Amino acid sequence: MSYDYENIEQIKQLKYRYCRGIDSCNIEELGRVFTEDARINYQGGSYTFEAEGKENILTAMKFAFHDKLVSCHTVHMPVIEITGETTAKGQWRLLDYAMNLAEDNKVTVGGAEYVDDYVKNTDGVWQIKQSVYTRVYEQVFLQDNHNLTHYQLGGGVVKGEFSI
């Protein structure tokens, strides 16, 4: 068995750019990771997050990942299969933390299993065509005090004490 390490590494970097785009609320970066006809379906214990078409996905993400949300999304243990010259599939384990300061410090912590489909566009760049996840576990709770001494929101950084 041989592996196409170059394409696999490009897909890993694509998924990392996706996570970084979410955590920094960088809609422009997220716009580069999806195909025009992309589809997402994320099933959580307390939500369903679903959209079709890049513009609809970006609108939904702009609403969900905003300047009052502190988050960290990490993906691990990729299993990536190159299925053709311009197609691939991937499976990842997600571990994430999100605190919504606009909703009384509502915290969501969990793990999920991503299953993605990728395509390489005419410029030779891999993009996400479909991304689906199902929660492995999820905790949702309100935290009395955010206790944050440093955080990044909407691409900006706030240091020290602050008020909402």
pLDDT per residue over 116-133, tens digit each?
A: 999 999 999 999 999 999
Residue 17 is predicted with a pLDDT of 95
Between β-strands 34-43 and 126-142, what pairing exists: parallel, antiparallel or unpaired?
Answer: parallel
Would you tell me how many other CB atoms lie within 10 Å of the CB of residue 107?
A: 17
Structure tokens at 137: 């576990």
pLDDT over threshold 60, residue 163: no
Per-residue pLDDT tens over the stretch 29-82: 999 999 999 999 999 988 899 999 999 999 999 999 888 889 999 999 999 999
User: The domain containing residue 122 runs over which residues?
Assistant: 5-159
Residue 164 lies in a domain: no
Q: What does the CA dihedral 16, 44, 24, 78 come to, rounded to 10 degrees?
A: -10
The CATH number of the domain holding residue 66 is 3.10.450.50
pLDDT over threshold 80, residue 159: no
Strand, coil or helix: what is 45? coil
Nearest to 113 by CA among 68, 76, 149, 139: 76
Q: What is the pTM of this model?
A: 0.90
Query: How many domains does the chain fold into?
Result: 1
Residue 83 is predicted with a pLDDT of 97
Residue 160 is predicted with a pLDDT of 45
| Mean pLDDT score, 106-121 | 97
